[in-house]
Structure 1
């Protein structure tokens, strides 16, 4: 198809005076979201290019012709025919496709053979059409092989820290005495094994100990279920989509964050980086990002095989963290903080992005 024939398909709204055409653009998708990760990564990309939304570029051929790449996050959740056509349109215009490989597969994606087949088909398509695949953990490379026989498209970029959010909470380190506090913070969904966490906490029955579960439930029905199984225990529930400042406060009120994620889909954990940014240690199942930290003594990593094994291993490590006491866990949090300041800072991330652009784009 000739270029002008393609142009007939697209409604171009060319407003050249609204754009500085000497600039190169990066389309960031999604452009907005509840996750601070999106804003932090846009800041990093903004050191290299002008970052714009898909909508800002959609009908503007001048902008599209000056767009270097599109960065895709979690696209596997909404990959339909229209999205596929959009990606192929980008390719036709010479716009590089950068896919951030966040998860082994979409969370809560169903378990029938046909559903899994369709999901893997979508993931393979994204992997094939991408020019660069960003990994936020070295250990996730082995999972990429589930979708690509050759993994030469991969490029490691650290998960950026949350220091942009932390600065608003400085001075509120919550050194108060009282009960030992386990904290879960994030979207409250079944794949994060909240029900298992509550059962383990209740069965441990530790003296002077609390569990705080903070975040927005995936549904009203799931929130009701968690409310019911939490009754009568030292469990505090806060069902809200919190501001960045409030997230920091809630993490800092705790002693240890607990992240017992399902390993069938989970691969990285922004919540773990958020905890470290707040000088708190974590208990985390051995997802790819956690595997990168093996050998470090500032967190608790455990693996499991099957639900019953998960129960026993989580129970063992929560008991160990509790018995270590507040002081030891705060020391672990300090070490974790110092580690990510060296390896996950905005400066380090921008340096890796710059290297990726030079070598791959």
Structure 2
């Protein structure tokens, strides 16, 4: 693409304080000479509207749930955006991040919006192969081009990985849950399972709860459990490598019902730590074999049992060889660098845009 006439596109959102995923993609596109604008400015003037050639939407199906009127308002605003894209014959790319919206209240409206996006999209970007089957089963006459581009790695994005010291690793297994604290992430389950390993496991839950009520609920649940540390606050980017470094494994008991991809799984691998996690699309695609503690389940009670089993397996390995888990993490880092290389990801995204334009 020639740099002297940059193609004007909208990438939404074009910034996200809580996730460098957006910055990696937007910076990569700008290096390719794309002029990236915000969705808020799409209809700011006739001239600007006409200049936009392509819009790439992420999480567009999520609605504002703060009140019923806000939810409906955000729904209609998004319908207007989709109508303007169609009317102006703009190219539309949508990234499918989740199996279904994580939000409970707006589920119906969100599904209706997703249906409209899918029927109008020129291309649907997926980050895991499992998404292809889900799309095909949900939308029988899908005409959009489905393009699989992996989630970019986070190697060195939040600062350099801390070197492994020669200090003796503690015999207690250090587990870390990291990320936004939301009900679908099964934090309650995590607290329940950590309680069963008072001597052999220490669990840190680090991240910002989505409401004060949920924060209070978790604090009550974890009260008087000495082997759980709650750090219920926003964790600044610069501190992420240190949090990951201090753990032996990340533990992410996501819901198989709604979760499909996980940036936090990629983050853990990028900083040399493996994960205990259900077999979501991200885990499946990387195919780390014995280097990942993955599992499946059909019910909440099965989930608890599967989680317990994986923790027990990790404890045994850790006690036999304190460096075994770290070695697994380093192998996953190498695999992620190969399969989710951020340069390859932005190259392929640029190629997708060019094929549409």
TM bucket (normalised to shorter chain) is 0.7 to 0.9
Please name the residue that 1:41 is paired with.
25
Aligned equivalent of 1:324, options 317, 322, 347: 317
- Paired with 1:174 and 1:306, the residues of 2 have a C-alpha distance of 41
Deviation at 1:172, TM superposition (A): 5.2
List aligned pairs for 1:126-275, cutoff 5 A.
126-151=117-142, 152-166=144-158, 168-171=159-162, 173=164, 176=167, 177-178=169-170, 179-207=172-200, 209-233=201-225, 234-275=227-268
8 Å contact from structure 1 (residues 174, 252) kept in 2: no
1:96 counterpart = 2:91: yes
Deviations 1:177-198 (A, max 9, x none): 3332100000111100000011
List aligned pairs for 1:46-85, cutoff 5 A.
46-48=30-32, 49-78=34-63, 80-85=75-80
Aligned equivalent of 1:87, options 78, 82, 87: 82
List aligned pairs for 1:296-311, cutoff 5 A.
296-311=289-304
Deviations 1:49-70 (A, max 9, x none): 1212123443233333332211
What secondary structure sits across from 2:31 in the alignment?
coil
Please name the residue that 1:123 is paired with.
114
Q: Which moved more, 1:97-106 or 1:349-358?
A: 349-358
Q: Which moved more, 1:349-358 or 1:215-224?
A: 349-358
What secondary structure sits across from 1:77 in the alignment?
coil
Give the unaligned 5+ runs of structure 1: 1-19
Deviation at 1:116, TM superposition (A): 4.7
Q: Which moved more, 1:50-59 or 1:120-129?
A: 50-59
Deviation at 1:141, TM superposition (A): 1.0
Alignment coverage as a number of residue pairs: 336
- What RMSD in Å do the two structures reach over aligned CA positions? 2.1
8 Å contact from structure 1 (residues 40, 164) kept in 2: no
TM-score norm. by structure 2 comes to 0.88
Given the superposition, is the C-alpha separation of residues 360 and 298 from structure 1 closer, same or farther in structure 2, using an over 3 Å criterion? farther
Given the superposition, is the C-alpha separation of residues 197 and 117 from structure 1 closer, same or farther in structure 2, using an over 3 Å criterion? same
- Paired with 1:264 and 1:161, the residues of 2 have a C-alpha distance of 25
Give the unaligned 5+ runs of structure 2: 64-73
What secondary structure sits across from 1:75 in the alignment?
coil
- Paired with 1:324 and 1:175, the residues of 2 have a C-alpha distance of 19
Deviation at 1:164, TM superposition (A): 4.5
8 Å contact from structure 2 (residues 161, 271) kept in 1: no
TM-score norm. by structure 1 comes to 0.87
Deviations 1:246-300 (A, max 9, x none): 1222112111001110111111000000001100000111212222234633211
